Amino acid sequence: MPELPEVETVRRGLVPAMEGYVITRAEVNRPDLRWPLPERMAERLTGARIERLRRRSKYILADLDTGESLLVHLGMSGRMTVSGVMLGGFHHDHPLPLKHDHVVFHMDQGARVTFNDARRFGAMDLVRTDREAAHWLIAGLGPEPFGNAFHEEYLIGRLKGRATPIKTALLDQRIVAGLGNIYVCEVLHRAGIDPRRQAGRLSQARITSLVPIIRDVLAEAIEAGGSSLRDHRQADGELGYFQHTFRAYDREGEPCRTADCGGEIQRIVQSGRSTFFCPKCQR
């Protein structure tokens, strides 16, 4: 499932084609994705101007001049691709419609933005912009990793007394929003922290070290266009490249990339998810 860097990469790719422009026609080709789509979705979107494209955790939010916001979750295989305008110095012609093109936005400057989702684990909803914070998908989210509310004292307080493994704690969206399995593995490897360690037993110094490392890993991944392992594509259809710099994730049996470590990356399962780490340098 796309994590914060992949979603942010898609959002940035959509901005030139959508922000400030009018949806002249919205095509809604099925009644549901993971959940039912909003009532009269095509009618409510057609003619609306997108005033701002934002991201909250793993969700893209398009603020409309109608007072509503379109909430988009890409799910496991969802893609939003742009055609008909210049992106990154290249013009992408409109492709032929595909079987899983479930929602299509025709923009007033000629762009077409297509939401394609083969497995239909994605989601869309329309919510009043002034009530967005109460939406059931957003209400319980913790602070953004790049926001001012996410800092060393905050993280120390949230992890205090927790008996859960540190990896599980960092995956908890109520503690910090947007982190997923890939980037938590990468963060803990850089921090030299064993993912099995109880979160509440880490020293304040080690917890403090996590905050800048989380930001660095996410920023580097965004700069690389995210990680393309299976389905992720940028808005222009290109792959992300951060997977080529993984230090831990998906590297079972390979040498640890920590200088002078000499260890080997291992894989274990925590809470039903694969964890990749080096038992020699992560303690």
Annotation marks residue 58 as catalytic: yes
Annotation marks residue 273 as catalytic: yes
Q: What does the pLDDT read at residue 11?
A: 94
Strand 101-107, strand 112-116: pairing: antiparallel
Domain boundaries of the chain, sorted by first residue: 4-134, 152-277
Which residue, 154, 164, 201, is CA-closest to 184? Answer: 164
Catalytic residue among 2, 5, 165, 195: 2
Q: What does the pLDDT read at residue 153?
A: 98
Rounded Cα–Cα distance for residues 234 and 77 (Å): 12
| Residue-wise pLDDT tens digits, 202-244 | 999 999 999 999 999 999 999 887 775 555 555 555 545 567 7
Q: Is 60 exceeded by the pLDDT of residue 264?
A: yes
Is the domain covering 152-277 a CATH 1.10.8.50 domain? yes
Residues 6+ apart with CB under 8 A from 129: 63, 64, 67, 68, 69
Amino acid at 117: D
Q: Is 60 exceeded by the pLDDT of residue 40?
A: yes
Annotation marks residue 3 as catalytic: yes
| Residue-wise pLDDT tens digits, 61-70 | 999 999 999 9
Which residue, 256, 262, 259, 260, is CA-closest to 278? Answer: 256
pTM summary value: 0.90
Catalytic residue among 52, 257, 273, 280: 273
Catalytic residue among 11, 55, 56, 58: 58
Higher pLDDT, 79 or 88: 79
Q: Which fold has domain 4-134?
A: N-terminal domain of MutM-like DNA repair proteins (3.20.190)
- pLDDT averaged over every residue in the chain: 91
Rounded Cα–Cα distance for residues 157 and 37 (Å): 38
